[in-house]
Amino acid sequence: MILMRKTKRTPDVDRQVVEAPAIAPEASASANKPNLLSVDQAVNMPLEQMSQLFVDHLNPGQLHFMKLLGFHKVKIESAEGVFYTDQNGRKILDFFGGFGSLSFGHNHPRILAARKKFQEEKRHEIAMAFLSQYAAALAHNLATIAPDDLDMVFLGSSGSEAMEAALKVAERYQGPKKSKILFAENAFHGKTKGVLSITDSPLYQSQFNLVDDVVKVPFGDLEAIRTALDNDPEIGIVCLETIQGGAGIIEATPEFWQGLRKLCDEKDVLWVADEVQSGTGRSGKFFAFEHYGVVPDVTALAKSLGGGKTAMAAMIARKPIYMKAYGKPATALIHGPATFGGIGEACITSIEALNIMYDDDLMENAENVGAYLKAQLQDLQARYPKLIKDVRGRGFMLGLEFQDFSKTMPAVVRPALAMLDEKLKGSLSGFIGSALLREYDVLVAFTEYNRNVVRLQPPLITTRENVDQFIAALDKVLSGGVIKIVTDFVKSQRG
């Protein structure tokens, strides 16, 4: 496939922004109604006003990062399958996939239809007083998919919430004398206060009083875990991402996982597998731990469980663990139900998504097309060894690591680089990601703890043709070499 630089779109999105006047709240019919924006006004809001409201009310610092890479110039008007469409009608190929939240792509027609029917039938959402047929069916489906006696489900709305539930059920089972949590270096488990304690980031953790009964070991190091457990009988929970996402797509060996299972059994320690990012089919199996022939005691899902259309998360525990923790009337309300856990339309969205996963063989597609993508990336690595350091991962959870140029940027670009934000200086991934979006209409994701890694987590419906488009774009960017990649980026900042 030959990829040409696009000329169709207006390059200066900013000019268009200036021309579009900010939308003011309409005068209200009711004297008591404050000046609120309407849904139509939200939909039609010009970019400049979006930025302003972000600064005024959401997250000014986040806008700063979007500006660094030029992402703030894009207004998404719609999204379908593996493409976004922006304000200029340009279709952007989504290889970012919402950090793994878009396994079914954007606006999957079957998911839209299920939600529409649910709405048209005026079905109820909040099911605190009555039993919910929707929550019951979703819990059944998850228990059916999950191996062994991973049968008991808590429904929530975010990965952090599901992981909090996972740690709490494990602690309830182990009791206060065995409640210490072992976690891994470079782990990411969320930012709520409990899981933040086992999210290995000094930046995210600083300034907070965290749970201090935690022990950190290198990821994938069985001997380090054995030593920790031998030395400290109060450790009762080992919590690990099955594939580390925020660290830049890091896997442990099958021997590690099999050894971990044995060790946890020997020491009566519970293994909590965080599958928030690696689960729901992303790795080519429903749970990534299935690649290693072992089953944890507790696991957690979120992200794509919502079908790309809603916020849905689940903690799934082995039945005896759950029953000991919360199985009696006296303990049933200690954790849950959450107000929005098991909300009707979210449940039917997830139920439909899980059915699509199997009806359309999406995990097979992730495995096959993911392997194709990985092979194409390895081919690029062989052709550009000075730029690409590593290609890793499985299914549609791939990491592309660029060489670290923080100390070796060519002298000619150093003066231009000196003008840039600290975060950008040595990082090829930012410049390359920006070029992919600017010049080739492709979106990729960056990585929390390793700024040289681009994460590729496209929807599981991604085809070989989509991969070819992505690889051709990346090839074009890389073929310019470091100096061109950097100077193009600096020019784009000025433009």
Ligand X SMILES: Cc1ncc(COP(=O)(O)O)c(C=O)c1O
Interface contacts to ligand X, rule CB under 6 A? 99, 158-160, 163, 188-190, 241, 245-246, 274, 276-277, 302
Minimum CB distance to ligand X smaller for 447 or for 466: 447
DSSP, res 399:
E
To the nearest whole angstrom, how small is the minimum distance from the Cβ of residue 26 to ligand X? 35
> How far, CA to CA in Å, does 313 sit from each of 190, 271, 325, 371, 452?
13, 19, 20, 28, 30
d(CA 223, CA 263): 10
To the nearest whole angstrom, how small is the minimum distance from the Cβ of residue 124 to ligand X? 25
Residue 52: count other Cβ atoms within 10 Å of its Cβ.
14
Minimum CB distance to ligand X smaller for 105 or for 159: 159
To the nearest whole angstrom, how small is the minimum distance from the Cβ of residue 321 to ligand X? 20
Length of the chain: 495
To the nearest whole angstrom, how small is the minimum distance from the Cβ of residue 256 to ligand X? 17
Minimum CB distance to ligand X smaller for 46 or for 306: 306
To the nearest whole angstrom, how small is the minimum distance from the Cβ of residue 409 to ligand X? 30
To the nearest whole angstrom, how small is the minimum distance from the Cβ of residue 170 to ligand X? 15
Minimum CB distance to ligand X smaller for 398 or for 467: 398
What residue type is 439 in one-letter code? Answer: E
To the nearest whole angstrom, how small is the minimum distance from the Cβ of residue 386 to ligand X? 31
Minimum CB distance to ligand X smaller for 237 or for 485: 237
To the nearest whole angstrom, how small is the minimum distance from the Cβ of residue 278 to ligand X? 7
Phi first, then psi, for residue 268 (nearest 5°) are: 55, 45
Cis peptide before 337 (omega within 30 of 0): yes
What does the H/E/C string look like for 247-274? CCCEECCHHHHHHHHHHHHHHCCEEEEE
DSSP letter string over 26-76? PPPSSTTS--PPPHHHHHT--HHHHHHHIIIII-HHHHHHHHHHTGGG--E
Tell me the residue nearest to ligand X as measured from the CB. Answer: 159
Q: In what order do the strands lie in the sheet with 442-443?
A: 76-80, 83-86, 91-94, 442-443
Q: What is the dihedral of CA 246, 251, 257, 258, to 10 degrees?
A: 170
Minimum CB distance to ligand X smaller for 173 or for 188: 188
Minimum CB distance to ligand X smaller for 190 or for 194: 190
Residue 333: count other Cβ atoms within 10 Å of its Cβ.
9
Nearest to 470 by CA among 382, 373, 363: 373
Phi first, then psi, for residue 34 (nearest 5°) are: -65, 170
Secondary structure element (H or E) that encloses residue 299, with its range:
strand 298-301
Minimum CB distance to ligand X smaller for 245 or for 370: 245
Minimum CB distance to ligand X smaller for 70 or for 458: 458
To the nearest whole angstrom, how small is the minimum distance from the Cβ of residue 168 to ligand X? 15
To the nearest whole angstrom, how small is the minimum distance from the Cβ of residue 198 to ligand X? 10
**Helix boundaries (H) for 121-181:** 133-145, 159-174
Minimum CB distance to ligand X smaller for 188 or for 405: 188
